[in-house]
Structure 1
Amino acid sequence: MLHDPKGGSFRFDAGAVCLDFAHTGGEGRYAVFESLHEPADLGEWLTQPPLGAVMTVPVTTGELTAAKALRQAIWDAAHDRAADRPLTAEAVATINRAAAEAPLAPELAADGTNAGWAPPVRATQALSTLAREMIELLSGPSSERIRECASDNCPLVFVDLSRPGARRWCAMERCGNRHKLRALRARRATES
């Protein structure tokens, strides 16, 4: 669920956890969307599904700084790929640096029916897991399906997981409906 600082929220599925992470805030004009103010905010975000990584070691200020750098690199790389531009060396280096750390290690519960993350669970491991997912996304078959919302004022990026590969909007209930309403108004205005 994404929240607009002007009020309201909408369901948004970016199609990849790493892209969901890229939408937790940002720099410049995206600072109003910032949700990772303190290390504890990062820890809380990482505990949410689908990642569900409950930190057994408290998140540090350094890890928060690294998380924001990774987030920006994922954002930049996704937008570059969506626009069919070469990725920047800085974004690639930041993603690779995060991925080089040990990732989260899955662990099967004693009852054999549930899984979690083997302790200790650290933020650097979760960030590595997100970076590795972004590497797979950028270098795999879904790379060509990274899209930016077709709305002229929405910068959200997503992986188009629709069968025909025709998804245009971040969320139909938000940008898709706005587009349809504008088109309807334009048709009515020309018909009058």
Structure 2
Amino acid sequence: MRATATGRVLHDPKGGSFRFDAGAVCLDFAHTGGEGRYAVFETLHEPADLGGWLAQPPLGAVLTVPATTRDLIAAKALRQAIWDAAHAQAAHRPLPATTVAAINRAAAAAPLAPALTAAGTAEWAAPVRAAQALSALAREMIELLSGPLSARIRECASDNCPLVFVDSSRPGARRWCSMERCGNRHKLRALRARRDAAAHSPGEENTPPRP
């Protein structure tokens, strides 16, 4: 059953990993891979990979009907639509019509239904299908884009980082995908710049004497 915490560990194909919290499960899903130059980050290679991702918290949708190749194709189409919509919103551009249609198409499927167990806990009612989990992700994206946090959807402030997130913090001051990654890199660059500036600025000992 779904928990409240979001975020996943992302792995760089060149080595290294870091925890990235996009602030919404649908945005976490958008970072599971991609097309073109982002294909090197692909994690959903087979239907079982999709089922494994959906089963993890916070969504916790353990499929009782195994995901199919068709489900995987639909998942990647929704993932691309969420990615494109998030970047358009972050850049204050109109949402592409094809993107809107793809998200609405996924959201039209029946979503996951909660059920109460005899132990007083909650779970997703069976059967749990991939299409239901994708519908839940699409509906979350619709709520995000149409709700009060839509203006908080941002791209990482680093010049070469395309990761996108929703800043749900109270001050709304989040700039980086992760302080562990781009935030620290920015701090290091700023520190080097200050040191270089100090090293190249004339000191008092180099100041010419007054006449």
TM-score (norm 2): 0.90
1:11 aligned partner, one-letter code: R
Shift of 1:84: 0.5
Alignment-derived partner of residue 4 in structure 2: none
Residue number in structure 1 paired with 2:95: 87
Unmatched tracts of structure 1, length 5 or more:
none
The residue type equivalent to 2:86 in the other structure is A
Inter-partner Cα distance in structure 1 for 2:76 and 2:28 = 13
Deviation, 1:109, is 1.5
For 2:164 and 2:123, how far apart are their aligned partners in 1?
28
Q: 1:43 aligned to 2:51?
A: yes
Distance 2:11 2:170 in 1: 28
Deviations 1:119-175 (A, max 9, x none): 000000000000000000000001010010000010000010111101000000100
Q: Which runs of 5+ in 2 are unaligned?
A: 1-8, 200-211
Residue type matched to 2:68 in 1?
T
Show the 5 A alignment for 1:1-192.
Answer: 1-112=9-120, 114-192=121-199
> Which stretches of structure 1, 4 residues or longer, exceed 4 Å deviation after superposition?
none
CA distance in 2, matches of 1:35, 1:110: 36
CA shift for structure 1 position 111: 1.3
**Count of matched residue positions in the alignment of Structure 1 and Structure 2:** 191
CA distance in 2, matches of 1:155, 1:71: 15
Letter in 2 for 1:167: R
Cα separation, 2, equivalents of 1:179 and 1:121: 43
Determine which structure has more spread, i.e. the larger CA radius of gyration: 2
Normalising by structure 1, we get a TM-score of: 0.99
